[in-house]
Structure 1
Amino acid sequence: MKERLLLWISGVAVVAHVTQAQQLDSLMQEYELQEVVVSASRLQRELHTVSVPIHTIDAEDIRRAGYLRLQDALQEQTGLQLVYDHGTGLQMQGLDADYTLIMIDGEPLIGRTAGTFDLSRLNITDIKRIEIMRGPSSAIYGSEALAGVINIITEEDEEQPWRLSGMARYGSRNTSNFQLKATTTSGKLHTSWSANYYGSQGYDYTPDTYGQTASPFVNYTLRGGVAYDPSPAWRVHARARLYEDFVKDAYESAGERFDGKGYVADKNVYAAIEWMPTGRAFWQLRNYFTTYHTAASYWQKDSGEEIDHSFFRQLYWRPELFTEHDLGQGHTLSGGVGTNRELVSATRYEGTRRMHNLYAYVQHEWSRAERWHMHTGARFDQHSIYGAQLSPKWGIRYNQDRWSLRMSVGRGYKAPDFRQLYLNFTNNAAGYTVLGTEEVRQGMEQLLTQGLIAEILIPPAEVASLKPERSWALNIGGEWRPLQNMKVDVNLFRNILQDMIDTQPVARKNNGQFVYSYRNLHEVITQGVELNVEYKPSPYWRLSAGYQYLDAFEPSVKERIRAGEIYKRDAQTLASRRVKLEEYGGLFNRSRHSANFKAFYTHSKWEATMRLIYRGRYGWGDANGNLILDDASEYVDGYLLCNVSAACHLRHYTLQAGVDNLTDFRNETFIPALPPRTLWLSFQFNFSTNKK
């Protein structure tokens, strides 16, 4: 009797364990089948067929965590670092914000300040998912994609006749966010509309001085789209987006107080016609137009006298023809031709500057028995200033039942921007001047005529024309499932960046300040490993952890250190000595170690999240005058951030609360753009009608 009882209990335990494992495996398989990406090839592909490292953040995780702006979601991803320079930018695989392309539905967003695209411009509370593709993607997207691509997908599920959703959120420092979105589907017509308002009174780490660390602002985003299917073979769709931001600023200088205001406008319009004559052919003609405009004014507080007014206007237009053909037996061929034109006018540029580019690209994809997947691609660009550029890319992936391997190698390029070519700017307060390489000769002549130059360091005729930045990158990695409910993803990367553009002094002014221009550096290398682990201990819990090790350096600096050509001065004794190789910390603003941990709990009506983000120490700048990172005083200490949220669902309504920067970590000196602890509460609703 006892043996039967033990056998029965053991049988129940085994069945329960198998059932739970099957449930977990089913959940994992369902999750994988739903993961479809478009960034890797411009058309939908299942994630397990893609040979490049790519990660997605879906709408559910955005909602659970309470992300509002793009930087909120990206800062919690492995290998991505926020940089606070002329806005909140993104560093990927150790490459600066200049080298990551930011897109909405596959179309590039413009408007960079000193190379940084400010991620706070992008509201993500009404999108479908975010795709993060690492490694150079110039073979598809051209310039600016040396480090990778961030693609925001707004496409909607058209299975519901109508849907209405919204959110109201309020937090610390009068931070408020209001969101309203509506979608409809009626026969052959689908529409989508959304409106977002976001504002805050800012914060101040230095209350004893006039002005705030982060100024008060309000902005709004309006987005609309329409799609029409006149027949099963034809589809016409269009989208439009408007973003406007208003900032009030104030500061104190030399005992005087100044007030100011700033304005930013970002407008995008996209239209496309799609034709699918057969099940194996697809054609798309698309047209994209976008503008970016900023304006800022400052005046003396007491007298009201205007002391500065500046503006920046950029226009970008790109028509393109894209096609894809299924050749059978696992072969797919796709490609496109197009052109893009850019115009820039600004206070600090002479006249209106123009660039244009003609391009063509082709991709071949091959799959065999759901095991092997290979893609080969290349893009040819004919730039109005830099001539011909060829960007190839190749990748392969092999899948087994519980593991997969992938490898990709690609060539990237980035053309110099308008700032590096045509900038003509003098900071009257600090006294320095910056000249683009095309403006050096004329700008220096003006300064010499005015008697402002004390010494010429590089004759204007010897300032070389800039060459495009180029890179070769290798990514090797794979996935492994040691358990049915556990996934391990690893990626090793190496980027070799050639002709990197950097600033250089070309003259010294009478006031002791310098005239700067730009030059190409020979070579920069970033390399490392990214590791992600995801584990589902039960249907209610999902845990994940990520880690990146990064090594970023200039080989020429290491060579000079080995040759004994670089010295450092002791801050106490003022004695000089040669720098040791082990003291070289690589490129500034790069953390050798970074990590994250996330826990998501979902059960019936309740949800909760906790996310930890760690960034190791990094160099902030040169303190001993040898222009490299080699001293302990040149580092910013590492730090840990904690964000939490919890939600309760009541049919069509959701109440959610959260705390960002739970420990109230602050570094007012080196990271003033990092907000203090922020508490928030939101109310959300969602109504829809399912198709019968």
Structure 2
Amino acid sequence: MRSCFLFYLILISWQAFAQSGLIQGKVTASKKAVEFVGIKNGNRQVAVTDSNGYYRINELTEGTYILNVTAVGYEDATKTIHLLGNDTLTVNFDLKASSKQLREVVVSGTMKEVSRLDSPVPVEVYTPTFFKKNPTACIFDALQNVNGVRPQVNCNICNTGDIHINGLEGPYTMVTIDGMPIVSSLSTVYGLSGIPNSLIDRIEIVKGPASSLYGSEAVGGLINIITKKTGTAPTFSADVFSTTWGELNTDVGFKLGSGKSAFLTGINYFTYQNPIDKNHDSFTDVTQQHRISFFEKWSLQRKENRLFNLAGRYFYEDRWGGEMGWNRSYRGGNVLYGESIYTSRWELLGNYQLPLKERIIYSFSYNDHHQNSAYGLTPFVATQRIAFNQLVWDKKIKKHDLLAGTALRYTYYDDNTSASRGANAQTKNVWLPGIFVQDDISVHPKHNILFGLRYDYNSNHGNIMTPRFAWKWKMNDYNVLRLNAGTGFRVVNLFTEDHAALTGAREVVILEDLKPEKSYNLNLNFNTTIARESHSPANLELSAWYTYFNNRIVADYETDVNKIIYDNLRGYAVSRGVSANLDLSFAHAIKLITGFTLMDVSTIDNVAGNKTKERQMLTEPWMGTWALTIPIKKNKLSFDYTGNIYGPMRLPLMENDPRPGKSPVWSLQNVQLTYNYRQFELYGGVKNILNFTPNKGLPYLIAGADKPFDDGFDPTYVYAPNQGIRGFLGVRVNVKR
């Protein structure tokens, strides 16, 4: 009996000892719940609010906890809690609307996590909420509503394209996933399709050279796609929509596991199998497509909150465009003209924080891209493999925020064109080792100066140095002035340049060994809050830039209409302009995001002392974008009106061409109505409500469409999508728990 009593006392004592504390509460803003927001204790995330704004932190030991809540569009909120024994405490947070999303965490400007307010480099951030205002099947199309960024369609038949930033063409833009150079060179044309939207946390855009940190291809700017963290990702999400043209896009994401190990899976499937010829040229207006992409991300929670993430993606696409009635039996033949492209691609990327006292992170990526295409009678078979390794040391010493690293990039490229064959063929194996260092110095509470330097050795082009300088003046929490200066470089990726040659009868001619381009850039950025009231903030961002290019690679379409002649410019090129972004919030939660860019992108050819200035082809002198959201809360509805407008651009012409040499002013505008009910959204609307297509008012759009296998056939006279007005209807579901 005495032993039983002793056992009972031990059991009670053990239970009392094992009991732990609990902190719970709700996160609100203006008395409304803030859903799916991460809550951190120090640097470690410990909870996420549910769809009603509630959170719960279990199994806490006695001690002091510093809880921090960071949410997009709101000021940070921090509370210190002293927990005694097995207390149950209720701690609520009431967030205040941020005057500007300057407190969002960004990584693209300095390769480390800092708030936008503290970043010496201007970084624009776009969340999935922004892109939902005009739902699209891929990131390429989604960027059409970002000021200063334009998706450029390069072919009327295969509808491939690239991304222009401030007028500079696709080869000048680096696209990364979680900071890793996944999309580049050959895959720039197709790589922005098929990234599952369900796994995208945000997209960060840096306009202007970023070569001192990211190396080649970041001359014009950087688009960094940040995927969701396993701790904040929903348990299940789905987004399915279809259009009246017969397009169907399905995007599904789900999370498995929790605690120390979690897996995120994203699947995207897009299909369009409805040949349409509304411009009556006997060719499909839009390519027929089957596209599927699988994305998997694994995160492991380690001691002291050290990083370990591993992700992979597989992408396959089958697309074709051409004469109506074309099918696979005509592929590569001369009966009916068609452009058929099979793309198979897989990627692996990850980062691992070394188990050291110092913060040292090893990052890596690898991608394998294979393409088998037929452009009429012209076959194109290409393989590209890129391996990337990087080691970064992040250290703070008093007023110095240091970043130093080393990188090694290996590129293998081979195809059956002049890029890999002939006297001026590129080397198949290119090594690019490099080292870089950056010091962000807090010289004054309101002033920061950043110095950066990168050295690379290209196995083809030798030594390359890219210095960088930035100055940030934080006048107060509402006004920030930034000055950035630096250089950029771009080595030759000929496939990106000569893709137009594959789609027509033009011959590629390379006059000499192409040298790498070098750019010198100056950028001034001012961000201010016009209205500081929490319920009606208004924010204005102004930028001005000037970029000077040496050895600019120029494609000459006009000297010989049957050729595309590539050479380094005997002179220089300039990209300069100003832009403004305005973010307004009105009463009743009405919101307007609008922007305007004015730019001049020109080449100055210097032959025998005679200077000739010419505007870059397929580059608009000005552009504007807008997105207006009007909530109708009583009926759980919201209305979105989005659009863009572009100035006239110079177009490639054939000999004795009756088509105009400049495009008209053109605009794509869309409307959408969304119904919200708990975890579901039903949305629908109309795209391209003005029914604009580039063929209107022209005798023809495709040159030589009646004889596609003869000289004179050319589908590169294109600046806008061929797809006219269409309706769409879709549904979204988001389950957090």
Residues 364/106 of structure 1: CA separation in 2 closer, same or farther (3 Å cut): same
Contact 1:249 1:262 in 2 (8 A): no
Residues 217/159 of structure 1: CA separation in 2 closer, same or farther (3 Å cut): closer
Q: 1:395 aligns with which of 449, 452, 470?
A: 470
Deviations 1:604-644 (A, max 9, x none): 4322211121101111136799x9xxx99421111122112
Supply the AA of the counterpart residue of 2:146.
Q
> Do structure 1's residue 498 and structure 2's residue 550 form an aligned pair?
yes
Offset at 1:678? Answer: 2.4
| Structure 2 partner of 1:434 | 508
Deviations 1:534-570 (A, max 9, x none): 111125111122111111222347997xx6x87xxxx
The whole-number CA distance in structure 1 between the counterparts of 2:500 and 2:143 is: 33
| Structure 2 partner of 1:412 | 488
The whole-number CA distance in structure 2 between the counterparts of 1:59 and 1:425 is: 33
Q: 1:653 aligns with which of 673, 680, 703?
A: 680
The whole-number CA distance in structure 2 between the counterparts of 1:347 and 1:243 is: 23
| Structure 1 partner of 2:706 | none
> Do structure 1's residue 50 and structure 2's residue 119 form an aligned pair?
yes
| Structure 2 partner of 1:454 | none
Contact 2:410 2:429 in 1 (8 A): yes
The whole-number CA distance in structure 2 between the counterparts of 1:148 and 1:241 is: 24
| Structure 1 unmatched runs, 5+ | 1-15, 17-22, 300-306, 437-462, 567-583
Offset at 1:591? Answer: 1.6
Residues 388/543 of structure 1: CA separation in 2 closer, same or farther (3 Å cut): same
Deviations 1:22-41 (A, max 9, x none): x9997542763651111112
Segment drifting more, 225-234 vs 514-523: 514-523
> Do structure 1's residue 588 and structure 2's residue 617 form an aligned pair?
yes
| Structure 2 partner of 1:439 | none
The whole-number CA distance in structure 2 between the counterparts of 1:115 and 1:366 is: 36
Return the structure number with greater helix share: 1
The whole-number CA distance in structure 2 between the counterparts of 1:499 and 1:475 is: 21
> Do structure 1's residue 664 and structure 2's residue 691 form an aligned pair?
yes
Q: 2:372 aligns with which of 295, 318, 329?
A: 295
| Structure 1 partner of 2:41 | none
Deviations 1:215-272 (A, max 9, x none): 2111011000111123225432200011111123433899942456321122110132
Segment drifting more, 95-104 vs 308-317: 308-317
The whole-number CA distance in structure 1 between the counterparts of 2:671 and 2:503 is: 45
Deviations 1:376-418 (A, max 9, x none): 1111001101110000111111112332211000100001125
Deviations 1:194-232 (A, max 9, x none): 111111135534565544122211101100011112322
Contact 1:466 1:520 in 2 (8 A): no
The whole-number CA distance in structure 2 between the counterparts of 1:212 and 1:153 is: 35
Supply the AA of the counterpart residue of 1:216.
Q
| Structure 2 partner of 1:359 | 434
The whole-number CA distance in structure 1 between the counterparts of 2:642 and 2:731 is: 21
Question: How many pairs are equivalent?
Answer: 602
Supply the AA of the counterpart residue of 2:359.
F
The whole-number CA distance in structure 1 between the counterparts of 2:257 and 2:161 is: 37
The whole-number CA distance in structure 2 between the counterparts of 1:545 and 1:420 is: 31
Residues 613/125 of structure 1: CA separation in 2 closer, same or farther (3 Å cut): farther
Offset at 1:155? Answer: 2.9
The whole-number CA distance in structure 2 between the counterparts of 1:385 and 1:112 is: 16
The whole-number CA distance in structure 1 between the counterparts of 2:385 and 2:211 is: 21
Contact 1:89 1:118 in 2 (8 A): no
| Structure 1 partner of 2:151 | 82
Offset at 1:667? Answer: 1.4
The whole-number CA distance in structure 1 between the counterparts of 2:162 and 2:503 is: 27
Deviations 1:171-206 (A, max 9, x none): 121111111111245221121111111111355345
> Do structure 1's residue 65 and structure 2's residue 92 form an aligned pair?
no
Contact 2:198 2:238 in 1 (8 A): no
Contact 2:297 2:312 in 1 (8 A): yes
The whole-number CA distance in structure 1 between the counterparts of 2:507 and 2:455 is: 36
> Do structure 1's residue 285 and structure 2's residue 362 form an aligned pair?
yes
Classify the secondary structure of the residue corresponding to 1:554. Answer: strand
Residues 633/594 of structure 1: CA separation in 2 closer, same or farther (3 Å cut): same
Residues 646/390 of structure 1: CA separation in 2 closer, same or farther (3 Å cut): same
Classify the secondary structure of the residue corresponding to 1:222. Answer: strand
The whole-number CA distance in structure 2 between the counterparts of 1:395 and 1:251 is: 53
Q: 1:635 aligns with which of 626, 641, 662?
A: 662
Residues 238/624 of structure 1: CA separation in 2 closer, same or farther (3 Å cut): same
Q: 1:545 aligns with which of 589, 594, 604?
A: 594
Supply the AA of the counterpart residue of 2:553.
I
Contact 1:478 1:491 in 2 (8 A): yes
| Structure 1 partner of 2:236 | 164
Offset at 1:420? Answer: 8.9
| Structure 1 partner of 2:705 | none
Supply the AA of the counterpart residue of 1:318.
F
The whole-number CA distance in structure 2 between the counterparts of 1:676 and 1:81 is: 18
Contact 2:448 2:472 in 1 (8 A): yes
| Structure 2 partner of 1:609 | 640
Contact 1:612 1:643 in 2 (8 A): yes
Contact 2:545 2:578 in 1 (8 A): yes
Deviations 1:119-145 (A, max 9, x none): 445443431011110110000011111
> Do structure 1's residue 471 and structure 2's residue 528 form an aligned pair?
no
> Do structure 1's residue 374 and structure 2's residue 449 form an aligned pair?
yes
Classify the secondary structure of the residue corresponding to 1:388. Answer: strand
Contact 1:407 1:475 in 2 (8 A): yes
Supply the AA of the counterpart residue of 2:651.
W
Classify the secondary structure of the residue corresponding to 1:641. Answer: strand
The whole-number CA distance in structure 1 between the counterparts of 2:688 and 2:569 is: 39
> Do structure 1's residue 675 and structure 2's residue 723 form an aligned pair?
yes
Residues 217/419 of structure 1: CA separation in 2 closer, same or farther (3 Å cut): closer
Residues 637/27 of structure 1: CA separation in 2 closer, same or farther (3 Å cut): farther
TM-score (structure 2 length as normaliser):
0.75
Classify the secondary structure of the residue corresponding to 1:143. Answer: coil
Offset at 1:320? Answer: 1.6
| Structure 2 partner of 1:263 | 342
| Structure 1 partner of 2:650 | 619
Residues 646/369 of structure 1: CA separation in 2 closer, same or farther (3 Å cut): farther
Residues 425/45 of structure 1: CA separation in 2 closer, same or farther (3 Å cut): closer
Segment drifting more, 106-115 vs 659-668: 106-115
Residues 545/500 of structure 1: CA separation in 2 closer, same or farther (3 Å cut): same
The whole-number CA distance in structure 1 between the counterparts of 2:504 and 2:254 is: 49
Q: 2:393 aligns with which of 320, 323, 328?
A: 323
Segment drifting more, 489-498 vs 258-267: 258-267
Contact 2:682 2:732 in 1 (8 A): yes
Residues 518/269 of structure 1: CA separation in 2 closer, same or farther (3 Å cut): same
Supply the AA of the counterpart residue of 1:265.
S
Contact 1:127 1:155 in 2 (8 A): yes
Offset at 1:116? Answer: 4.9
Contact 2:173 2:222 in 1 (8 A): yes
Classify the secondary structure of the residue corresponding to 2:145. Answer: coil
Supply the AA of the counterpart residue of 2:413.
V
Residues 212/112 of structure 1: CA separation in 2 closer, same or farther (3 Å cut): farther
Segment drifting more, 355-364 vs 70-79: 70-79
The whole-number CA distance in structure 2 between the counterparts of 1:417 and 1:101 is: 12
Contact 1:531 1:547 in 2 (8 A): yes
Deviations 1:435-469 (A, max 9, x none): 55xxxxxxxxxxxxxxxxxxxxxxxxxx5432210
Contact 2:340 2:373 in 1 (8 A): yes
Contact 1:88 1:120 in 2 (8 A): no
Residues 89/118 of structure 1: CA separation in 2 closer, same or farther (3 Å cut): farther
